[in-house]
Structure 1
Amino acid sequence: KYRENMAYDKSTDTYTCANNQQLYVTRNYTRTSQTGYQSQVTVYECEDCTGCPLKEKCTKAKGNRQLHVAKEFLAYRETAQENILTEAGTLYRMNRSIQVEGTFGVLKEDYQLKKFRTRGTGNVRNELLILAFGYNLNKIHTKIQADRLDHYYHPLKTA
């Protein structure tokens, strides 16, 4: 049903569905997200899904199966996947999972944040931003007092 379950042939720029039907490029268009980010999307379509025994499992469309693919996004996703699977990426993920849990624990327990005191998306965002500033100021103050400003969990990257 999903793109990941279809074989992709880079040389012909086609996908192959579970019924061995080819999905060819039919058009390209620009999609704009709610945040204003624009991405190029390639639409692949099967030539004929009439009588396909797998159509109900493959698509809900009345016509042929279509696949909308943002190739640039997939390239970024692949790069990110490669980065997080490296040894350094694994260390960063382990460290981040510990840090984030601790942050929420401090906000909930030490700052007594049980619920937001404001209503509305903008107000809640601003309240959380102020809490984050306070948390970070408290964290850097503690590091200054303990003379630990030059200590890092992992070595810094050099450019």
Structure 2
Amino acid sequence: AMKNGQLKPAYNLQYGVEVSFIVWAGVYQNTTDTRTLIPFLEDFQEYIGTRSRNIIADAGYESEENYLYLRDKGQASYIKPNNYEISKKRKWKNDIGRRENMVYLAGEDVYLCAEGKCLSAVGTRRTKSAGGYISEKTLYACAACRGCERKGQCIHGNHSKIQLEERVKRLEVSKVFQREREENLARIRSTEGILLRMNRSIQVEGAFAQIKENFGFRRFLTRGQESVLGEAILLALAHNVLRLYEKIQRDTVGRHLIALKEAG
């Protein structure tokens, strides 16, 4: 966070919630949620000695590395893809330049554009994430773009020094990521996935709303990662006591999930 030109210490607070109770807390200096998932779950498992069967998380936690980690640990991911909401929009669905709107022929390993022309694999390249994870991407290119009347709709990016007439359509695809995303997408669209994601929204967002709005807690009072974590744990304990009281009053102590029809 920046204020008056001076760098102020800032932390990324993560809470893990189950049955409306905060069961684990972590404080990180990573600005993005993506890189907090694995250390958070590793710390939880090391301390508790067990792993949760399902991991339900918002779009900020989606990455190839996270998908493979959960698969390796035998945990089912229910992570909203980061393009999930925008992919529902008409503009996205009508964009012929997007890989998602092309036909993929797995046997031939080619994509077919809106004009039925092939984008074939022409090579691979490796990329390394900020956390050091290496992903392999397959490069696809079309050899029949010249003279296509729809090239302006298909090839995006207005900063290329090459004239549009000379450019060809290219794609970069991580096959591993796309496989994991598709399997994950099938889970979140299932009846169980819809139920779990709805409860994640109610329980996790509710926990932060309780702390920020009801408790009026907007800024940590101490400095240093360890001290800030101590504050986060105290806040979590206060939240859990209130949640337990509410459950006792409503006689819902033994209930884990809110049904879809109740939320509706």
Task: Tell whether the structures are fold-level matches, with TM greater than 0.5.
Answer: yes
- Whether 2:195 is the aligned partner of 1:95: answer no
The 5-angstrom pairing of residues 6-155 of structure 1 reads 6-59=102-155, 60=157, 62=162, 63-114=167-218, 116=219, 127=228, 129-130=229-230, 132-141=232-241, 143=244, 151=254, 153-154=256-257
SS at match of 1:50: coil
Shift, 1:3, TM fit: 0.3
**Range moving further from structure 2, 4-13 or 58-67:** 58-67
What fraction of aligned residue pairs are identical, expressed as a percent? 33
Structure of larger gyration radius: 1
CA contact under 8 A between 2:211 and 2:239: conserved in structure 1?
A: no
Which runs of at least 4 in structure 1 moved beyond 6 Å after TM superposition? none
Question: TM-score, length-normalised on structure 2?
Answer: 0.48
Shift, 1:13, TM fit: 0.4
> Structure 1 pair 131/46, CA: closer, same or farther in 2 (3 Å)?
farther
Question: What is the root-mean-square deviation in Å for CA atoms of aligned residues?
Answer: 2.7
SS at match of 1:134: helix
Shift, 1:130, TM fit: 4.9
- What is the total number of aligned residue pairs between the two structures? 144
SS at match of 1:11: coil
> Structure 1 pair 130/64, CA: closer, same or farther in 2 (3 Å)?
farther
Unaligned runs of at least 5 residues, structure 2: 1-96, 258-264
Q: Partner residue of 2:8? A: none
Cα distance per residue 1:19-62 (max 9 Å; x no partner) = 22100000011111122221110000001311111111111464
Question: TM-score, length-normalised on structure 1?
Answer: 0.76
Identify which of structures 1 and 2 has the higher relative contact order when contacts are C-alpha pairs closer than 8 Å and 6+ apart: 2
Q: Which amino acid letter does the alignment assign opposite residue 69 of structure 1?
A: V
